Chain A
Amino acid sequence: GAGVSQSPSNKVTEKGKDVELRCDPISGHTALYWYRQSLGQGLEFLIYFQGNSAPDKSGLPSDRFSAERTGGSVSTLTIQRTQQEDSAVYLCASSKAISGNTIYFGEGSWLTVV
């Protein structure tokens, strides 16, 4: 597609439920990132994938968070047993390489845990 596509755009879930957020990067982009933007806070790095290499998970806040990237393209971020503090905008981004190239962001998935 023309840009990074994320779904759902909005998700309201009950505390304790699992959620899956999907990211479809720009075609041909080998690097994919997940960031989180909480109300009143800056953007927080979560995880990145580069090609077929093992992902860097150093930014994941807890073991309730996981992500995978199938076939080097689409990525899914899963949050298990959601908590209210997980409420945030989850942004996906992609680029042609891990550095040196412009990073393009999707519109985000707005998650509200009630």
Chain B
Amino acid sequence: KQEVTQIPAALSVPEGENLVLNCSFTDSAIYNLQWFRQDPGKGLTSLLLIQSSQREQTSGRLNASLDKSSGRSTLYIAASQPGDSATYLCAVSSGSARQLTFGSGTQLTVLP
């Protein structure tokens, strides 16, 4: 059974700092890995999708890496802003149903 772990559970940083969120998964036989953002009371917004054959993806100030063999991914956020405050979720697509298995998220607070 696929399990996804995210560290840290919560993170508070001053505005302008660069930061890294970590995600690990137990079964390396994945189809892809996706990072999402969830604001309080809202649904999930997809940030980056990395296919199993890729090593990283970039979008603006966000960069996600994938090391499938070691079962790890990182989300790098450059020059953080208060508007980046949210819960960040990592999810991997695996198994016969190819459903997403989610981590429990990292709650990020960027202080002005």
Residues of A participating in the B interface, judged by any CB pair closer than 8 Å? 4, 33, 35, 41-43, 45, 48, 56, 58-59, 91, 93, 98-108
Contact = CB atoms under 8 A, between A and B. Distances in A.
Given A99-B93, A107-B42, A42 B104 contact: yes
A91 B101 contact: no
Given A45-B101, A103-B46, A106-B43, 15 more contacts: A35-B100, A42-B104, A43-B102, A45-B97, A45-B99, A48-B97, A48-B98, A56-B97, A59-B99, A99-B31, A100-B31, A102-B49, A105-B44, A107-B42, A108-B43
**Chain A binding surface, main DSSP class:** loop
Interface of B: 31-32, 34, 36, 42-46, 49, 51, 89, 91, 93, 96-105
A50 to B, nearest CB: 9
A94 to B, nearest CB: 12
Contact of B32 (A33, A48, A100): A100
